[in-house]
C-alpha cells in the first residue's frame, strides 16, 4: 500500500512531536511529571505501527544528539 501525502505529513507531524518531547526529556528540559501527562494524552491517538516507526526515528535522532554533545 502506498502512502499518500496526507499520511506522510501526519507521520512527519507525529515524528516532530515525539522527537521534541524525547529531546526535552533527555536534556532535562521537561520533568517526568509533565512528560507522563503528555505521553498519556498523546499515545492513545497513535496507531501502534506508526508509533513504533516514529519512536524508533526520534530516539535514534536524540541518541545521536546526545553522543555528539559528549564529544
Q: Does residue 60 lie within any of the structural domains?
A: yes
Per-residue model confidence (pLDDT) at position 40: 95
pLDDT at 22 exceeding the cut of 80: yes
18: nearest Cα among 47, 37, 43? 43
What's the pTM? 0.65
> Angle at which helices 5-26 and 48-70 pack, to 10 degrees?
40
pLDDT digit string, tens, across residues 27-50: 889 999 999 999 999 889 888 887
Per-residue model confidence (pLDDT) at position 1: 55
Buried b (16+ CB within 10 A) or exposed e, 22-40: bbbbeeeebeeeeeeebee
Domain membership of residue 54 as a residue range: 22-27+46-71
In degrees, to the nearest 5, what angle opens at C-alpha 31 toward C-alphas 57 and 67? 40
Q: Does residue 50 lie within any of the structural domains?
A: yes
Q: Does residue 56 lie within any of the structural domains?
A: yes
Q: When comparing pLDDT for 66 and 22, which is higher?
A: 22
pLDDT > 70: percent of the chain: 96
Q: Does residue 34 lie within any of the structural domains?
A: no
Q: Does residue 52 lie within any of the structural domains?
A: yes
Amino acid at each position: 500500500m502506498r502512502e499518500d501525502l496526507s499520511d506522510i505529513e501526519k507521520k512527519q507531524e507525529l515524528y516532530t512531536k515525539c522527537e521534541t518531547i524525547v529531546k526535552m526529556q533527555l536534556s532535562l528540559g521537561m520533568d517526568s511529571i509533565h512528560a507522563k501527562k503528555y505521553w498519556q494524552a498523546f499515545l492513545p491517538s497513535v496507531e501502534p505501527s506508526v508509533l513504533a516507526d516514529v519512536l524508533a526515528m526520534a530516539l535514534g535522532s536524540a541518541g545521536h544528539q546526545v553522543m555528539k554533545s559528549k564529544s
